[in-house]
Amino acid sequence: MRLTINTFIPACKILFLLLCVINTTCGRQFPGNGYSLESFYPAEVQYEQIKKALSLLEPAPQWVPNWPDSSVKLGQVSGVAIDNTGQLLVFHRASNVWDENTFTLKNVYNGIGTEPIPHPTILVLNDTGELLDMWGQNMFYIPHGITVDHAGNVWTTDVALHQVFKFEAGKRNYSMVLGQRFEPGSNNYKFCKPSAVAVLKNGDFFVADGYCNHRIIKFAPDGTIILQWGTAKGDSPFVMNVPHALALAEERGLVLVADRERGRVAAFRADNGSYATAYRSWLIGGRLFSVAYSPVHGGRLYVVNGPGSMVPVRGYVIDFTTGKLIQTFAPDGDFSNPHDIVTSPSGDKVYVAELNPFKVYKFIDEVLGNETREEKANVHVKPTATIEVYGSPVPMGEEWDWWRGAAGGAGAAALLALAAFALLRARNTGRKGVTRRRWEYGQGEFKLRRLLERRRFTRVHSDDSDDEPAPMLPHHHPPANA
């Protein structure tokens, strides 16, 4: 049949009706539904709308006020980690700060020749927020990331030194250091402001390198490079803009990257660096500072966003398999500059480091806490870790893409027909490797929204533009420091 405008438009109408039916039967509950964000709305209106949308989410986990003990003195808090006994390690800059005078334009620290921070930069707190131990004095200049591995070793990064340190469990001096002291670089021996470390059970580890190189490097336990990926420019899921924090979903075989200035959590296969999927949401905005992961209830992501993106600054919990936002949390009022987040393995305790004001916050999830206690009572046996080609999350950010299609105007109609065809075909051939598109009728005009659902674990989609940020909201990025 020859497609003329006379047959095409009625065909579109029929398809549209069909899609309305499909949409209402298959549409997902998403807290943003019903709040249409028009880009011509003033920022305050958008902000209020987003706030309203967020109020539909469960306010959890709950903030624990008056924690830690008031005797705990902090500088800029850059990192938090939980050790194997459940104690919290807080990494802070004590008397030093990172501001616009800290580095030269070539990323060289301006304080070379000065003494390192003379105060303990690592504080160990117990559950009730009391200071049990402190160390890490006379060593660091601008502390950034901290993590504790399965063997109890502590790993840190310092962006001024451009180095990564490993401290054996219980030791106060490092046993391994990677990178050249005060020398930024981008080769196999130098980092440039490395931000974070994550360590697999077998001892292999990842470094997020970081503020200038925008790459992830995987190392063997002895510090030799296994592989690396990530780039600052181009159009692929490997493009990152400040990989700022790392987490592992080890039972899924994934390493999770908080891709800060692209407002997403990107998941890559831990074994070979293949791109798996990404999560983001217009409710979270264009900046995402840190991510933590708990395998509880099929997997949950805990993230914090940042200021400058015209959205509330909060913590968010994302269901890993569906990609839906399920909870949001913040201290009384919102955060100002949350910088790092960590969760206990069962998700019952969550800690957030804040840069300014100098704070660390504790949140508890009573439901998960009770479940964990019950599980312990029943001597629940968890399956051992396996590398699994995991299910089909819906990457966050589905609300971000509609305007692109809508902007297409007439093109949208053609897309509509194509996508309906794809959708119908998809429903016949199963869901594997499928992009589902969904159209919503709202406020008297077509709006293209897309519901993305795909599995892409076996192939690197280097031409995938779905992961390009679509900055619908005005961005006012502070300098890429902090």
Residues that bind ligand NAG in the complex, under the rule CB under 6 A: 126-128, 130, 132, 173-174, 269, 272, 274, 366-367, 370, 458, 460
Residue 40: CB minimum distance to ligand NAG, A: 42
- Residue 373 in tokens: 């206690």
CA distance 181 to 406: 51
Residue 14 burial by Cβ neighbours in a 10 Å radius (0-12, 13-18, 19+): exposed
Residue 87: CB minimum distance to ligand NAG, A: 9
Nearer to ligand NAG, 270 or 330 (CB): 270
Residue 368: CB minimum distance to ligand NAG, A: 9
Nearer to ligand NAG, 274 or 281 (CB): 274
Task: Compute CA 39 distance to the chain's CA centroid, rounded to the nearest angstrom.
Answer: 25
Give residues with Cβ within 8 angstroms of 183, minimum separation 6.
162, 190
Residue 276: CB minimum distance to ligand NAG, A: 10
CA distance 193 to 67: 31
Instruction: Tell me the DSSP string of 249-288.
Output: EGGGTEEEEEEGGGTEEEEEETTT--EEEEE--TTT-S-E
Residue 236: CB minimum distance to ligand NAG, A: 13
Residue 237: CB minimum distance to ligand NAG, A: 12
Residue 128: CB minimum distance to ligand NAG, A: 4
Residue 30: CB minimum distance to ligand NAG, A: 25
Do the beta carbons of residue 96 and residue 162 sit within 8 Å?
Answer: no
Residue 54 burial by Cβ neighbours in a 10 Å radius (0-12, 13-18, 19+): buried
Task: Compute CA 105 distance to the chain's CA centroid, rounded to the nearest angstrom.
Answer: 27
Amino acid letter, residue 304: V
CA distance 254 to 472: 29
Nearer to ligand NAG, 24 or 378 (CB): 378
CA distance 96 to 98: 7
Nearer to ligand NAG, 170 or 409 (CB): 170
Nearer to ligand NAG, 371 or 440 (CB): 371
Nearer to ligand NAG, 272 or 465 (CB): 272
